[in-house]
Amino acid sequence: MALQITSTAFSPGETIPKKFTCDGQDVSPQLAWNDPPVGTESFALIADDPDAPVGTWVHWVLYDLPASARQLAEGVAKQQEQLPSGARQGRNDFGKIGYGGPCPPRGKPHRYFFKLYALDTKPNLKAGATKADVERALKGHILGQAELMGRYGR
């Protein structure tokens, strides 16, 4: 079975509740996934908005998630470079470590993609890495990937 990612906060293609945005508590949504491909050593997660006026806006970068992980609880600690599991959080386009929720300008709703990657390695990048750093480290190491898209507008 292919890698799949889901959330109890919203269904694919549906509206992301205000709680998970800059208009609410701005906490990360719960995310869960099924068993990864054989040989998975770690996971990486990138959440971004390709509809931002300045080009794709990065909301969350997470890597070195253990291969045994099957979910992220709601409200992952912000400004914490390394989580108790050993996972590391990178810098988002708000210039901060951890999750920064949807915060689009007024107008048409934007799409937000939560992309999960099963990797045959542990990138071992320093904490605070950018999306570009993580994407370079993923090249040639992706065993499986899944995405969950939600929408949010103001």
Q: Which pLDDT tens digit goes with each residue over 22-35? A: 999 999 999 999 99
Task: Retrieve residue 49's tokens.
Answer: 């908005």
pLDDT at position 124 is: 83
**Where are the chain's structural domains?**
5-152
d(CA 13, CA 48): 14
Domain 5-152 belongs in CATH node 1.10.340.30 = no
Indicate the pLDDT class of residue 113, thresholds 50, 70 and 90.
very high
For the beta carbon of residue 140, count every other beta carbon within 10 angstroms.
8
Indicate the pLDDT class of residue 20, thresholds 50, 70 and 90.
very high
Q: How does pLDDT run across 28-76, given as a tens digit for each residue?
A: 999 999 999 999 999 999 999 999 999 999 999 999 999 999 999 999 9
pLDDT at 127 over 90: no
Q: What is the CA radius of gyration of the chain?
A: 14
Under 8 Å between Cβ of 64 and 42: yes
Show Cβ contacts of residue 86 under 8 Å, excluding neighbours closer than 6 positions.
Answer: 64, 66
Which residues are registered as beta bridge partners of 143? none
Show Cβ contacts of residue 58 under 8 Å, excluding neighbours closer than 6 positions.
Answer: 46, 47, 48, 92, 93, 130, 131
CA torsion sign, 72 to 73 to 75 to 78?
negative
Average pLDDT over residues 78-83: 93
Indicate the pLDDT class of residue 1, thresholds 50, 70 and 90.
confident
pLDDT at position 128 is: 93
Tokens 């901060």 correspond to what residue?
96
